[in-house]
Structure formats: structure tokens, C-alpha cells
Amino acid sequence: MSSPEDLTARARIRDAAIDLFAERGIAAATIRDIAQAAGVSSGLVRHHFGSKESLRQACDDYAMDELTRIRSQVLGSESFGDSGLLTAVYPEAMQLQRYLVRSTLESPGVTSAMFARMVRLGEDWLDDQGIHTEDQRAYAAVLVAMQMGMFLMADQLSAALGEDVRKPAGHLRLLRGAVEVFTHPLPHDQEAAVRAFLDKLSAETPKE
């Protein structure tokens, strides 16, 4: 996040809300807590956002847009591999991801819409990267679910790894493991056998 002096009051409120929502959950973080963290009055929070739900929606939109921007920046052909850039954007991206998982799971009325939005963005990213699979929607949906699952099982993962995956060192170890999973596919003969098995099941499984 930018330094407080560089932000408008509205942006300070939004960033404070993202941090508190990610840390405590949507229900537990109050307007007063957010106002105090942003260094403004509760009245100013309501002036800019109207309600806590409207503030959460603004945070959702910002987090989604900012993660999309960061992903495009990091994976751009000229920027990819720039360790300075990766170091600069990593803490913000990690916090935004934590926030989105909280928001998606703790807001039943928007959970399905939020997940669907993430999947659509995943499909767009696959297209932008020239990655083509047999089922783009399924690939993107599973990828989003796997990413969210790592945050949901933070306690279990931390216990298994012996360090807190919510903190940078543990989270980086978790990301390294994820990269290993995605860069070490099944041996070709096993992959062919699995695909043939799935094709056979698909042909024999009733559509309804």
C-alpha cells in the first residue's frame, strides 16, 4: 500500500478496511475501527462510502482490479523476472489475496458472484498468456479454488511446514511448493493413461 501522506482520505479508508477485513473478518471489523486505523472520523467513512457493505464492495472492486494490474505488470514480457518489481508488489498482492478470500467466504450474498468473477479473470489471463487447455473454464475454476484453498487451510499448512504461512517467509515457501506442483506434470505415459480414463468415463457417464 502507498504511504498515508500520499493517499486521499477515501483511499486511506479503503486501505484500512482491506487490512482490517483481512485480519479480523468482515463482520468483526467495525466502521469505528476502520475510521481509527485510517485516521479519520466515522462520519467521514460514511460520507465517502455510505455503509459498511458499500465499503466492502469498493474494497472488492479495488482488490480485484489491483491484483489484475499487478499480475499483468509482473507477467509482462518486459517485466517478468524483474526481482525488484516482484519484491515491491509482493506484500500488497499477498494482502489483497488474503482480503479477497475473507470477503468471498464471509459474504454469502456475493460469494458465487465473486468466485465467478475470479474465474472469468482467470480465463482472460489464460487467453492473454496464450495458454490453451481442453476446458479453459474448468482449468480457471480449479486454479481459483486451489489458490483460495491455500488461504483457507492456513492453520493446517502452517502446522505441516512448521512456520506461519500468513507471514512472508512461510508464504514464500508455500508459493514455492505451488510452483513445484505446476511445473512438474505427470510423466507422459501416466498423463496419457489418466486422460484416456477420463475420456472413457465421460463417454459412459449420463449427461443428466
Q: Residue 99 is part of a domain; what is its CATH number?
A: 1.10.357.10
174 and 85 within one domain = no
Same domain for 124 and 44?
Answer: yes
pTM above 0.75, yes or no: no
**199 and 179 in a common domain:** yes
pLDDT in tens, the chain (208 residues): 544 444 689 999 999 999 999 999 898 999 999 999 999 999 999 999 999 999 999 999 999 889 888 877 766 545 444 445 455 567 888 888 889 888 887 876 667 777 888 898 889 888 887 888 889 999 999 988 888 888 888 889 999 999 998 888 888 888 888 888 888 877 878 888 888 888 888 888 887 6
**Quick one: cell of 149?**
484453498
Q: Show which of 152, 173, 196 is a domain's final residue.
A: 152
Residue 100: give the domain boundaries: 4-152
The one-character DSSP state at 164 is -
Residues 135, 34, single domain; the answer is yes
Do 106 and 203 share a domain, yes or no?
no
Residue 187 and residue 119 share a domain: no
Residues 126 and 168 in one domain: no
Domains held by the chain: number: 2
Q: Among 108, 134, 152, which residue terminates a domain?
A: 152
- Residues 208 and 106 grouped into a single domain: no
Predicted pLDDT of residue 21: 94
Long-range contacts of 147-156, Cβ-Cβ distance < 8 Å, separation of 24 or more: 147/97, 148/101, 148/104, 148/105, 150/174, 150/178, 151/97, 151/98, 151/101, 152/101, 152/105
